[in-house]
Structure 1
C-alpha cells in the first residue's frame, strides 16, 4: 500500500511538473498579449532572461559612444522637427532646387498619412527579433529562407525581389526600405519605409496617394503607389544625420540603405540578424538576382564608404549586438 502511494505521488508530481512547464511555455510564447504578460512576475523574468537587449550599454565603449536610444527613427506628427544643421546637410544630399518649406511639406504629408506609429515602442515582455535582409549574391544557395521568415520583423530594401528566390531569401516581408526612385510593387500587408533625401520626396508621397502629378524627381518615379496610407512610414532626416555623424563619422556622402536599415533595427529590435551583406564566397559584389556575378558593382557607388560601413558591421558583430550570416 505504501509503495502504491509513493508511486501515485510520483506520477502526480510528474504530471504537475509537466503541466507547469506547458503553461509557462504557453505564456512565454503568447507575448502579443501584454496584459497577460504583466500579471506574472515569473513570466516577466523569463522573458527578460531570453532577451539579448541589443540596446544595453556599458558593454562596449565603442558602442556607447555611438548609440543614442533617444534618437527617433521615424518622422511623425510628434517628432517632425529638423535642426538647422540637419536641414542644411539634408538639402545638400541631392541638391534640390527651390525646395518647399520643410514645415509645410510635413504638414501636407501628415494630412495624407497618419504620421503615428507604435513600431519603436519596445516591450519588456516581448523579445522582438528582426531579420535585415540585404541584396548580396552571398544569399544564393544559402537556404536561409525559413530562418529569415521565422523572425517577427523582416526588413528588405530597394528593388529586392522574393519571387523565385524564396528558398534562399524567404517570402516574408514586414517593412521595405525604399526611396522614391527605388519603389517596387509591394504586397498589401507590407509597410513601406521611405528614406527621403529632399522635400520633393515628401511631396511625392502625397502625390502618389492622391493626384499622381509627380513622376520625376532626379529620376523617373511611379505616379501612384498601391500602399495604403496606414502602411507608409518615413525615415527621419534627423536619424539619417545621427547615423552619418555618430556611426559613419562623416565617411562617404551619406549612409547606404543597408546601414540605415541596420541602425534602425538596433533601435527597435531585441535581436538583430543580418543576411545578404558583404561579398559572396568568391569576393564578388553583386545582387542575388543577377546572373553574372562579375558584372555586379553595387559597392562602388561613389557616395558610400563601403569599407567603413563594413567595419561598423564587423564591430557590431564582434560585440554581439548583431549576428551576420554570410552564406553557405
Structure 2
C-alpha cells in the first residue's frame, strides 16, 4: 500500500520506453514525449522557467506519456463539487503528478477498440491481454453493453457531494462501532470475505459494490464459511466489480451475464448464479480496466515485489477498490485497512481468536499501508484509525 517516489527524471525515460515495444516505438516517442521535451527545453532556454519548474514539467510529461495511449484525448475532466478530494490533489505537486482522472476505471463493450488491443496485448494479466485470444476478450466485453457497465456510479449535480466508504476486513473494525457512520455514506464498497451478520454495529449493513477476483471470491467462500460468509452480498441494485487478474475472471463474467455454467477452465461447471443470486441484471456487473490496474500499480504501488514476483504481484483487492473510489467519488473514507498499529489487531474483524496479519508475495501490504497513511495526511482520503483498548 505504498508509493514509490521516482524523483529523478533519468529513471523515468527508460521505463517509459520499455513499455512501448516493437516497431512503433520511434513513432510513439516522437508523438508523445519528444514534443513535450522540446517545449520544456524551449521555455527553459528563454529563462522563463526555473530549474525546479523544468524538472517538474519534464517529469510530468514523461509520466503522462507513460499512459497516454489509454487516455481519451477528447475527454474533459468533469466538474468537481466543492467538497471533492480533487481540489486537495491540485494543491500538492506530488499528487498532481500521480493522479490522472482520464485513465478509464472500467472496461466494457465500447472500450474494446483496436488501438487498445494493440497496446494491451503486450502486457500480461492483470495489466493487459498478453496471450489472450482476441475473440474471447471481445466476446466477454461485448456482453457489458449497458451504459451502467461503463461507470461505477451515477454522478449527481456538481454542487452535491458523493461520499463513499470502502470497507476492508481488518481486525481494527472489531468493536469499532462504526456501522452507522459507514451506512451514512452514499456508496459502500466491500471486498472478499465481507461478513455482516453479527457485526452490523461495527461494519454496517449497506453494500453498494462488492469487489473481487474469481480466486478471492471462491477462496473467501471456503476459508470464511464457518465464520458466516456463506454467500456474497445481494443488496438490491448492488454492483459486482470483477478484477481481471486471470483469464478465468473473463470466463466467469461471461457465464454470469449469460446465466450459464462456466464452459471451461479451472471453474468449469460452476454456475455463477449460485454466487450472485438468481439471474442478476447485466447492469449490475462491472469489470476493472487493465489500464487502470497498470496505472495505479506504476504510480502508487510499484513495489520491488513487482520485479521479484512478476507473475504473482498485483495490488490487493482492497487497494484496487479504494483507488477506484478515489478516482470516482468526491470524498472517500477507508475502514478496516492496514494502519501503523496493525499488530495490535487480528487479521479480520470476524476472527474468533487472535490471528496475526500474514504478508504474502502477491501483495505488498506494508507499501499499501504507507500509501493510505500518506493520503490521509494529505487529506485525499480519511483513514479509520484507533488504539487498541485493553
Q: Please tell me whether the aligned partners of residues 187 and 207 of structure 2 are also in contact (alpha carbons under 8 angstroms).
A: yes
Give 1:320's match in structure 2, choosing from 379, 383, 387. 379
Give 1:80's match in structure 2, choosing from 112, 136, 150. 112
> 2:250 is paired with a residue of what secondary structure?
helix
> 2:165 is paired with a residue of what secondary structure?
strand
Q: Please tell me whether the aligned partners of residues 131 and 272 of structure 1 are also in contact (alpha carbons under 8 angstroms).
A: yes
Distance 2:133 2:199 in 1: 41
1:229 matched to which residue of 2?
Answer: 282
| TM-score (ref. length: structure 2) | 0.63
| TM-score (ref. length: structure 1) | 0.74
Q: Please tell me whether the aligned partners of residues 190 and 207 of structure 2 are also in contact (alpha carbons under 8 angstroms).
A: yes
1:100 matched to which residue of 2?
Answer: 133
5 Å-filtered alignment, 1:55-204, equals: 56-81=88-113, 82=116, 84=118, 86-91=120-125, 99-101=132-134, 104-111=136-143, 114=146, 116=148, 117-119=150-152, 122=155, 123-183=157-217, 184-189=231-236, 190-204=238-252
> 1:193 is paired with a residue of what secondary structure?
strand
Distance 1:322 1:162 in 2: 24
> 2:272 is paired with a residue of what secondary structure?
coil
Name the Cα RMSD after superposition: 3.0
Matched, 1:246 2:299: yes
5 Å-filtered alignment, 1:287-298, equals: 287-294=348-355, 296-297=356-357
Q: Please tell me whether the aligned partners of residues 188 and 209 of structure 2 are also in contact (alpha carbons under 8 angstroms).
A: yes
User: What is the CA-CA distance between 1:327 and the residue it aligns to?
Assistant: 4.1
Structure 2 alignment gaps of length 5 or more = 1-79, 218-230, 306-312
5 Å-filtered alignment, 1:10-49, equals: 48-49=81-82
Alignment coverage as a number of residue pairs: 277
Distance 2:126 2:290 in 1: 12
1:21 matched to which residue of 2?
Answer: none
Structure 1 alignment gaps of length 5 or more = 1-46
Q: Please tell me whether the aligned partners of residues 168 and 190 of structure 2 are also in contact (alpha carbons under 8 angstroms).
A: yes
- Residue by residue over 1:162-191, the C-alpha shift from the partner in whole angstroms, topping out at 9 and shown as x without a partner, is 111100000001001011133342315211
- Residue by residue over 1:46-104, the C-alpha shift from the partner in whole angstroms, topping out at 9 and shown as x without a partner, is x954x1433654321221121001011011223235465644433378999x7432x54
> 1:274 is paired with a residue of what secondary structure?
strand
Bigger drift between 142-151 and 245-254 goes to: 245-254
Bigger drift between 133-142 and 181-190 goes to: 181-190
Q: Please tell me whether the aligned partners of residues 165 and 332 of structure 2 are also in contact (alpha carbons under 8 angstroms).
A: yes
CA distance 1:303–1:216, change in 2 (3 Å): farther
Bigger drift between 310-319 and 220-229 goes to: 220-229
1:41 matched to which residue of 2?
Answer: none
Q: Please tell me whether the aligned partners of residues 276 and 325 of structure 1 are also in contact (alpha carbons under 8 angstroms).
A: yes
CA distance 1:221–1:327, change in 2 (3 Å): farther
Distance 1:305 1:220 in 2: 31
CA distance 1:92–1:57, change in 2 (3 Å): closer
Matched, 1:214 2:262: yes
